[in-house]
Amino acid sequence: MAEETLDDRLSELPDSLLLQILSLLPTEEAVTTCILSKRWKYLWTSLDTFIFSPRRFWRRNNGFRSFVDYVLSHSTASKITKFEIDCSRMYNFKSQINQWLTFAV
């Protein structure tokens, strides 16, 4: 009986608060929330904070590049408040990095 009366309190929060919570996560983790429900499917596209790290893509630099390109191309944020990208393992991607920085500015 108690389970039936439990509310999904997270779903009751306004999008603005959910986006603040998502902005604290690395971007890869924030994007994966799209599988939670229909409401969350595109919520991440409104993020104005981006934290990219290639650590999870350590064997696939192209995977990291593709992921960053995908996220930035789907962003609907009117302004960027934080753009952090770890380029320490990015070799020969100068033009790509310049494009990302241009997006952030």
* Confidence category of residue 103, pLDDT binned at 50, 70, 90: confident
Q: With pLDDT > 90 as the criterion, what percentage of the chain qualifies?
A: 49
Q: In this model, does residue 15 exceed pLDDT 60?
A: yes
Q: What is the pLDDT of residue 73?
A: 95
Q: In this model, does residue 5 exceed pLDDT 50?
A: no
Q: HSE on the CB side for 30, CA within 13 Å?
A: 26
Q: What is the pLDDT of residue 7?
A: 58
b/e map of 79-97 (b: 16 or more CB within 10 Å)?
eeeebebebeebeebeeee
pLDDT digits (tens, 9 = 90+) for 19-69: 999 999 999 999 999 988 888 899 999 999 999 988 777 666 578 888 999
Lowest mean pLDDT, pick from 16-20, 87-91, 97-101 = 87-91
Q: What is the pLDDT of residue 37?
A: 85
Q: What is the pLDDT of residue 94?
A: 77
